[in-house]
């Protein structure tokens, strides 16, 4: 496991020892894409960690206006790692964003929001650490093409594993293509990406990211999952960025392309990011107890907060129009807001792999990997804290297959939002729990809603869909 550096001096010593040529400075934009710029090592001194380096914030999505464009990146020493993909030896550091005039942390910096969420947990005295464990799924494709203009629109995906290629002339076609919904998880040669996924997992370990397992997922066409070991909230936000970066670049090395888009294939399972949460204090797991499924009263209240605020939460945990193509019945996606032990059709599940108090946690199954991890994890924690503070009763568990409930019983179970716009409207109506401790500011909430509505929900609504032609062209 890679050593974690704790001070600017240690990072500078590492640069000298490894003969690093370039320092790459990274941060996350508002919607959730990693950004970077590079400087020669001579530009990085101990003072740089305090004073920062300037860049144009007006060119970053959802950030500054043009007349307030100057921003600072301040590298965080403990995030340093040697990039495994660049030709010239490059040291990467994740940065915090600051205003150059006031010196204050930038309120729209997602990492800053995550840092404030961790601090708020400690300030209110509930716990000192929130552990997050996401299970991010993704697809490995061989080719993807898409375009839309005023008179045409299409996408085309291909995969050597795709069941749709069973009859294709491949000179020769060797078969062994996972059937729809049956990719979990035959051995090779049906599973064609074992070595690639192992390289992804080992590469992440080399960067200091603790891993748990890797495997094929349910869908055909190369769906995969590589699980990160749980970590504190901000650290997991950093790790999720490294995760996506490594997976995409290893796939590129193999001539493949990876997407974390939740539902790229119609009529097969989409990619979720089931997210595990537990809150600890003084080395004790506050979610362990002698109640339902070995949970504490604190954990039950946390579940109550998550279920109550779930429609608003999904604006951050499921933040794309495509997210709601996954959240439909019949594909293992949790569309009903209930909790249960073992039942994977519930929005909140209590994993039962172990009875150890240390392993007790809740699993929020709605999120998908298109999300901005810093924002999604922070919103999830804030909903849990609100449930604990206000002792929100989650009601009775639903220990049965939700999809097989009779209609009259199913009608009483609340549902997830059906569209991104519906989730954004829920956030607009229910966000006071996010404003506590100044974790999310009103500006962040307003900017998120307006950005997502204008650039995504409304933009999609304006465009004809290919299936509309099949349904309506001859009317």
Please tell me the distance from the alpha carbon of residue 275 to that of residue 464, in angstroms, as a whole number.
Answer: 34
- Burial class for 351, CB neighbours closer than 10 Å (0-12, 13-18, 19+): middle
| Tokens matching residue 473 | 């062209």
Q: Please report which confidence band the pLDDT of residue 315 belongs to, taking 50, 70 and 90 as the band edges.
A: very high
3-class DSSP string for the chain: CCCCCCCHHHHHHHHHHCCCCEEEEEEECCCCCEEEEEEEHHHCCCCHHHHCEEEEHHHCCCCCCHHHCEEEEEECHHHCEECCCCCCCEEEEEEEEECCCCCCECCCCHHHHHHHHHHHHHHCCCCCEEEEEEEEEEEEECEEEEEECCCCEEEEEECCCCHHHCCCCCCCCCCCCCCCCCCCCCCCCCCCCHHHHHHHHHHHHHCCCCEEEEEECCCCCCEEEEEECCEEHHHHHHHHHHHHHHHHHHHHHCCCEEECCCCCCCCCCCCCEEEEEEEEECCEECCECCCHHHECHHHHHHHHHHHHHHHHHHHHHCCCCCHHHHCCCCCCCCCECCEEECCCCCCEEECCCCCCHHHCCEEECCCCCCCCHHHHHHHHHHHHHHHHHCCCCCCCCCCCCHHHCCHHHHCCCCECCCCHHHHHHHHHHCCHHHHHHHCCCHHHHHHHHHHHHHHHHHHHHCCCCHHHHHHHCCC
Q: Which two tokens stand for residue 37?
A: 């710029």
Arithmetic mean of pLDDT, 121-132: 97
Q: What pLDDT band is residue 405 in, cutting at 50, 70 and 90?
A: confident
Calpha distance 71→383 (Å, rounded):
31
Residue pLDDT, tens place only, 329-338: 776 778 889 9
Q: How many CB atoms lie within 10 A of CB 144?
A: 15
Report the pLDDT value the prediction gives residue 204, as an integer from 0 to 100. Answer: 97
Please tell me the predicted confidence (pLDDT) of residue 66.
46
- Residues with catalytic roles: 56, 135, 137, 217, 225, 274, 344, 363, 365
pLDDT, tens digit, 9 for 90 and up, residues 140-159: 999 999 999 999 999 999 99
Query: What does the pLDDT look like over 190-208, one tens digit per residue?
Result: 999 999 999 999 999 999 9
- Lowest mean pLDDT, pick from 61-70, 71-80, 207-216: 61-70
Direct distance between the N- and C-terminal alpha carbons of the chain, in angstroms, rounded to an integer: 63
Query: Long-range contacts: 428-432, Cβ < 8 Å, 24+?
Result: 429/312, 430/309, 430/311, 430/312, 431/312
How far, in Å, CA of 168 to CA of 165, rounded?
5
Q: What are phi and psi of 395, to 5 degrees?
A: 80, -165
What is the mean predicted confidence (pLDDT) over 29-51? 94
Q: How many residues does the chain have?
A: 475
Does this model's pTM top 0.75? My answer is yes
- Within a 10 A sphere around the Cβ of 45, how many other Cβ atoms? 12
Residue 257 has pLDDT above 50, yes or no: yes
Q: What is the token pair recorded at 89? A: 């030896």
Residues of the chain above pLDDT 90, percent = 84
Residue 373 CA: distances (Å) to CA of 199, 212, 244, 471: 23, 19, 11, 38
């Amino acid at each position: 496991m890679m050593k974690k550096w704790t001070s600017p001096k240690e990072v500078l010593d590492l640069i000298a020892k490894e003969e690093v040529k370039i320092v790459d400075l990274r941060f996350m934009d508002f919607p959730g894409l990693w950004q970077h710029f590079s400087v020669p090592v001579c530009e990085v001194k101990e003072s740089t960690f305090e004073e920062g380096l300037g860049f144009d914030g007006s060119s970053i999505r959802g950030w500054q206006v043009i007349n307030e464009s100057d921003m600072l990146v301040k590298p965080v020493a403990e995030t340093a790692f040697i990039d495994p993909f660049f030709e010239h030896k490059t040291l990467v550091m994740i940065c915090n964003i600051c205003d150059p005039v006031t010196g204050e942390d930038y309120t729209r910096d997602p990492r800053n929001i995550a840092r404030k969420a961790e601090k708020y947990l400690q300030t209110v005295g509930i716990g000192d650490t929130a552990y997050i464990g996401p299970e991010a799924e993704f697809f490995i494709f061989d080719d993807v093409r898409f375009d839309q203009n005023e008179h045409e629109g299409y996408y085309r995906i291909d995969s050597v594993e795709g069941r749709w290629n069973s009859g294709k002339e491949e000179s020769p076609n060797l078969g062994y293509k996972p059937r729809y919904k049956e990719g979990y998880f035959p051995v090779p040669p049906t599973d064609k990406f074992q070595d690639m996924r192992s390289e992804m997992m080992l590469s992440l370990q080399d960067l200091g990211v603790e891993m748990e397992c890797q495997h094929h997922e349910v869908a055909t066409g190369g769906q995969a999952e590589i699980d990160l070991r749980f970590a504190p909230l901000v650290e997991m936000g950093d790790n999720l960025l490294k995760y996506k970066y490594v997976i995409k670049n290893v796939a590129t090395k193999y001539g493949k392309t990876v997407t974390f888009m939740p539902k790229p294939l119609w009529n097969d399972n989409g990619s979720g990011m089931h997210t595990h949460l537990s809150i600890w204090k003084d080395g004790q797991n506050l979610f362990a107890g002698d109640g339902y499924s070995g949970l504490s009263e604190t954990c039950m209240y946390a579940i109550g907060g998550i279920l109550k605020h779930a429609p608003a939460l999904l604006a951050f945990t499921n933040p794309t129009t495509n997210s709601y193509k996954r959240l439909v019945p019949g594909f293992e996606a949790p569309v009903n807001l209930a909790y249960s032990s073992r039942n994977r059709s519930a929005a909140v599940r209590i994993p039962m792999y172990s009875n150890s108090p240390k392993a007790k946690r809740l699993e929020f199954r709605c999120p998908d990997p298109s999300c901005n991890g810093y924002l999604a994890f922070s919103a999830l924690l804030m909903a849990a804290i609100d449930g604990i503070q206000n002792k929100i009763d989650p009601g009775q568990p639903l220990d049965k297959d939700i999809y097989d409930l009779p209609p009259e019983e199913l009608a009483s179970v609340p549902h997830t939002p059906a569209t991104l716009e519906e989730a954004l409207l829920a956030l607009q109506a229910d966000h006071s729990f996010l404003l506590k401790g100044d974790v999310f500011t009103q500006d962040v909430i307003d900017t998120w809603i307006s950005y997502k509505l204008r650039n995504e929900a409304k933009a999609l609504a304006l465009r004809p869909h290919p299936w509309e032609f099949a349904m309506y062209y001859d009317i």
